Chains A and B, each alone.
Chain A
Amino acid sequence: MNRILLGLTLATIAATAAYAAGPDLGAVQQSATNWPAIGMFLFFVLLTLGITYKAAKGTKSAADFYAAGGGISAGTNALAIAGDYMSAASFLGISGLVYTSGFDGLIYSTGFLVGWPIVLFLIAERLRNLGKFTFADVASFRLDQTSIRIISAVGTLVVVAFYLIAQMVGAGKLIQLLFGLPYLYAVIIVGVLMIVYVAFGGMKATTWVQVIKACLLLGGATFMAGAVLYRYGFNPETLFAASVQVHPKGDAIMAPGGLVSNPIEAISLGVGLMFGTAGLPHILMRFFTVSDAQAARKSVFYATGLIGYFYILTFIIGFGGIALLMSDPSYYKLGAAGTFDKLKDMIGGTNMVAVNLANAIGGPYFLGFISAVAFATILAVVAGLTLAGASAISHDLYAQVIARGRTTDKREVNLSKISAVVIGVVAIFLGYVFENQNVAFMVGLAFAVAASCNFPVLSMSILWRGTTTWGALTGGLVGLLAAVIMVVLSKAVWVTTLGNPAPIFPYDNPALFSMPLAFATIWVVSLMDRSRRAQRERAAFEAQYVRSETGIGASGAHAH
């Protein structure tokens, strides 16, 4: 536990640690078996398996499997987007960060939210008008199928892999702590359930798992924040005053602290969070599940509201943790003289603030409920990631690159199901291997790659006439490699994991450098590209442009 806390005090490490503050639970002790939590979680599993069974019967075509037949309504899709996006890391991690540092938690809350308007203004409608199942469909619309699908699929799989490892390790630790199950069991349960959801139920089941999880999480968090505010007469000012009194840092928690001491680091973190959102493959895929651009647009609007509301709740929950838990020794490991450090000795670590607060507010049954919700949250996120990864393998790599378009829907979907099983097994294995590794940087790396490879390739191919295959391919590759290399050379990996004395790359967040590098490469290489193919691709922009702006030529809906 001390590892996290130490990280939080070191501004630079904290920047990435908090991305995955949930996942990086450090060494945890297995706690006593928590039956109410297990009971409620089993209920969630049975419900979602029932939905998966129904979805499997209704999933016949490739459009059903990848995009739920395009028949998801804007409101449902908004809940599913929120479900995909609100991870356990943001629920437990940000409330824990608010608990230790107060104001600094808001830096993450805002960063995670502000990517959504950008998605709406520049990407969402055009994506829906041009696309079919994956964002590679859009990026390769007028460019070379083989090269662009390969770079898009690689970008997708890298993002999915890092995100998935962080989630699996986090899930194992969390379940060990919440349910009292051994780490390996927990990882296997998560892996098997996500295989079942994705392989049998495809996008329909995945969507409904997200929706249920989003409702549970928003409902639970609303109740918690409401109960906290109720104790303080629904006056946040009273809550803040009470928090400042008991917090060891006192009034400092109301002001920016040490989290971002370096301006470049702060801005680079912001760039990664903001534009990473616009390049996450499992999020982009969700825009193909609605019938048209209008529905895509509305779903981003609602989702932004839901996600923003959720981050405000986590902020209140964090302060509730300060005000209600810090004066109660029963939530801490007591030292020899009955003393405890409010920031270091919380039972289960500071990521358990929301969980311990649930106990303080609603007793063991509400604790069980919140534990089950946290588990469901991880499950939903990994299901979304698995589907995105499986689609990249079957729809992009197999159908378009290997089979060159000469395959059937049925064969493609079958391959996707097999891919989901393989991804699940690999995820279980990696979750097992990485049990005692520091995975905190991995979610940050996933966002950095999404911002530096997927987002530049996608946005340049849609928005700039001059983009050519060579430009997009080299730019995407440069962005991907730059992001990965910079993270490997940064403190989180080079020093903390590999044990070198000093980092070669001074920042933990590479996006400020790797993303502009990718854009610049796409631009320069496209300008220099004088091949005949490049001329054809520029000429083909007009047709793509008309369709992306109007939807004319796009199918009205996938549903038949």
Chain B
Amino acid sequence: MSSGTTLGARGRAAPPGSGTLAAETDPQVARIARTPEFQQLVHERTRFGWILTILMLVVYFGFIGLIAFDKALLAVKVGGTASLGLFMGVFVILFAFALTGVYVARANTRFDALSDALKRSVGR
């Protein structure tokens, strides 16, 4: 009845506190970890994820930093009544959404292809 059969089996079979994992003795895991496909997938995706994370942090804390340290700049008028700060705030929201879009687009094409290649090569 339990889902995720692997996890279910592990959760119940392993005595609590042992912290062991069936996979320690599972040669399959070591084999997958050594394949070039796996290493490439993990390398590319981890790198990409961290780059986007850092971009988001820089943009958001840049915005917050300006609010904290340079209010005058954000008060500058851009086209009549609206201020630069207002555009930047809306930009942060749109940027966050766009960034998730960029990640999903890349994951749907490149990472899923690498993942499929990996699954073929380990024969599943």
Contacts and interface: CB of A to CB of B under 8 A. Distances in A.
B97 A146 contact: no
A405 B16 contact: yes
Given A117-B52, A122-B49, A549-B42, A311 B93 contact: yes
A297 B112 CA distance: 12
Nearest to B64: A270
Interface string B1-26: 11111111001101011111111101
Interface in B87-111: 89-90, 92-94, 96-97, 99-101, 103-104, 107-108
B113 interface: no
A254 B4 contact: no
Interface string B59-102: 01101110111010011010111110110011011101101110
Contacts of A546: 23, 29, 32-33, 38
Interface string A516-558: 0000000000000000010011011011111101111111011
B98 to A, nearest CB: 9
A266 B64 contact: yes
Contact of A558 (B4, B14, B50, B63): B4
A103 B83 CA distance: 9
B40 to A, nearest CB: 11
Contacts of B92: 110, 113-114
Contact of A260 (B60, B68, B75, B115): B68
B56 A118 contact: yes
Given A116-B100, A236-B82, A400-B11, A550 B38 contact: yes
Nearest to A147: B17
Given A118-B56, A263-B69, A543-B26, A537 B82 contact: no
A222 to B, nearest CB: 16
B6 A308 contact: no
B96 A132 contact: no
Given A117-B100, A144-B16, A552 B124 contact: yes
Interface in A76-96: none
Contacts of B26: 543
Contact of B2 (A62, A109, A118, A270): A62
A118 B51 CA distance: 11
Contacts of A62: 1-2
B89 to A, nearest CB: 4
A110 B93 contact: yes
A106 B124 contact: no
A552 B23 CA distance: 12
Contact of B19 (A63, A142, A266, A549): A142
A537 B19 contact: yes
Nearest to B104: A301
Interface residues of B, number: 73
Given A237-B81, A241-B81, A543-B23, A405 B56 contact: no
Q: Is the interface of B mostly helix, strand, loop or mixed?
A: helix
A88 to B, nearest CB: 20
A260 B63 CA distance: 12
A119 to B, nearest CB: 9
A33 interface: no
- Among B93, B101, B115, residue most surrounded by chain A Cβ atoms (within 10 Å): B93
A107 interface: yes
A425 interface: no
Interface in A118-148: 118, 120-122, 125, 130-132, 137, 141-146
Nearest to B66: A256
Given A254-B85, A405-B11, A552 B100 contact: no
A426 interface: no
Nearest to A148: B19
B57 to A, nearest CB: 8
Contacts of A300: 100
B103 A120 contact: yes
Contact of A405 (B12, B21, B96): B12
B103 A121 contact: yes
A114 B7 contact: no
Contacts of A241: 80-81
Contacts of A542: 23, 29-30, 33
B37 to A, nearest CB: 10
Contacts of B33: 542, 545-546
Interface of A: 61-63, 67, 70, 103, 106-107, 109-111, 113-114, 116-118, 120-122, 125, 130-132, 137, 141-146, 236-237, 240-241, 244, 251, 254-256, 260, 262-263, 266-267, 269-270, 274, 294, 297-298, 300-301, 304-305, 308, 311-312, 400, 404-406, 409, 469, 533, 536-537, 539-540, 542-547, 549-555, 557-558
Given A255-B74, A549-B45, 6 more contacts: A110-B92, A121-B50, A125-B107, A141-B7, A544-B23, A550-B119
15 contacts: A63-B2, A107-B67, A142-B19, A254-B81, A255-B71, A266-B65, A308-B97, A536-B18, A544-B21, A546-B23, A549-B42, A552-B122, A553-B6, A555-B4, A555-B7
Interface of B: 1-8, 11-12, 14, 16-24, 26, 29-30, 32-33, 38, 41-42, 45, 49-50, 52-53, 56, 60-61, 63-65, 67-69, 71, 74-75, 77, 79-83, 85-86, 89-90, 92-94, 96-97, 99-101, 103-104, 107-108, 112, 115, 118-119, 122, 124
